Amino acid sequence: MNLFLDAIAWIFAPQNWQPGGVSPLPIQDRLLEHLLYTVVAVVIAAAIALPLGFYIGHTGRGRQFVIGFTGAMRALPTLGVLFFLTMVLGALVKGNSGIFWGTTVALVLLAIPSILAGAYAGLESVSRPAIDAARSIGMTEMQILTRVEIPLALPLIIGGLRAGTLQVIATAVIASYAGLGGLGRIISSGIGLNDYDRILGGAILVTAFALVVDALFAIVQRLTRGPGAVSGGRGNRFRRRASRPETVVETPTQERNVTA
Partner 1 sequence: MTWLWGNFPLVVDLTLNHIRLSIIPIVLGFLIAIPLGRVTLTGRFARGTVITAMSLLYTIPSLPLFVILPAILGTRVLSDTNLIVALTIYAVAIMVRATSDAFFSVSGETKQAATAMGFSAWRRFWQVEFPLAGPVMLAGLRVVSVSTIALVSVGVLIGSENLGYLFTNGKQRNNLEEVGVGIVATLLIALLFDLILVAAGRILMPWARVDRAAQRRGKRAVVAAPLAAGGTEPTAAADEVSPRGRA
Q: Does 259 bind partner 1 (CB under 8 A)?
A: yes
Residue from the set 139, 203, 220, 229 that interacts with partner 1 by CB under 8 A:
203
Select 150 or 178, whichever has its Cβ closest to partner 1: 178
Q: What is the dihedral of CA 25, 31, 37, 39, to 10 degrees?
A: -160
Span near partner 1 by CB under 8 A; candidates 24-32, 49-57, 97-105, 110-118:
110-118
Closest CA relative to residue 109, chosen from 142, 86, 132:
86
* E runs forming strands in 103-231: none
**Counting contacts by CB under 8 A, is residue 256 touching partner 1?**
yes
Residue (103 or 134) nearer to partner 1, CB: 103
Half-sphere exposure for 20 (CA within 13 Å, toward CB): 0
Q: Pattern of binders to partner 1 over 160-179, x per CB under 8 A? A: x-xxx-xx-xxxxxx--xx-
Q: Based on the shown chain and the rule CB under 8 A, indicate whether residue 24 belongs to the binding site for partner 1.
A: no
Assess 41 for contact with partner 1 (CB under 8 A).
Answer: no
CB 203 to partner 1: min, Å: 4
Q: Is 204 in the site for partner 1 (CB under 8 A)?
A: yes
Please report whether residue 27 would count as binding partner 1 according to CB under 8 A.
no
Q: Rounded to the nearest whole angstrom, what is the least distance from the CB of residue 188 to partner 1 in the complex?
A: 7
- 37 half-sphere exposure, CB direction, 13 A CA radius: 32
- Our CA angle for 39, 45, 49, nearest 5°, is 145
Q: Which of 44, 70, 101, 151 binds partner 1 (CB under 8 A)?
A: 70
Considering only residues 114 to 133 of the shown chain, the ones binding partner 1 according to CB under 8 A are 114, 117-118, 121
Residue 109 — left, alpha, or beta (φ > 0 → left; ψ -120 to 50 → alpha)? alpha
Return the number of the residue (6 or 29) whose C-beta is nearest partner 1: 6
Q: In angstroms, give the least distance from the CB of 254 to partner 1.
A: 9
Rounded to whole angstroms, the Cα distance separating 192 from 190 reads 5
Query: Distance between CA 232 and CA 222 in Å, rounded?
Result: 8
Which of 18, 96 has the CB closer to partner 1? 96
**C-beta separation of 170 from 210 below 8 A:** yes
Distance CA 239, CA 230 (A): 11
Q: Which of 9, 32, 39, 88 binds partner 1 (CB under 8 A)?
A: 88
Please, what is the minimum distance in Å from the beta carbon of residue 103 to partner 1?
11
Q: Which residues contact 213 (CB under 8 A, 6 or more apart)?
A: 38, 165, 166, 169
* Closer of 110 and 148 to partner 1 (Cβ): 110
Distances, alpha carbon 56 to alpha carbons 100, 105, 109, 254, in Å: 31, 23, 18, 42
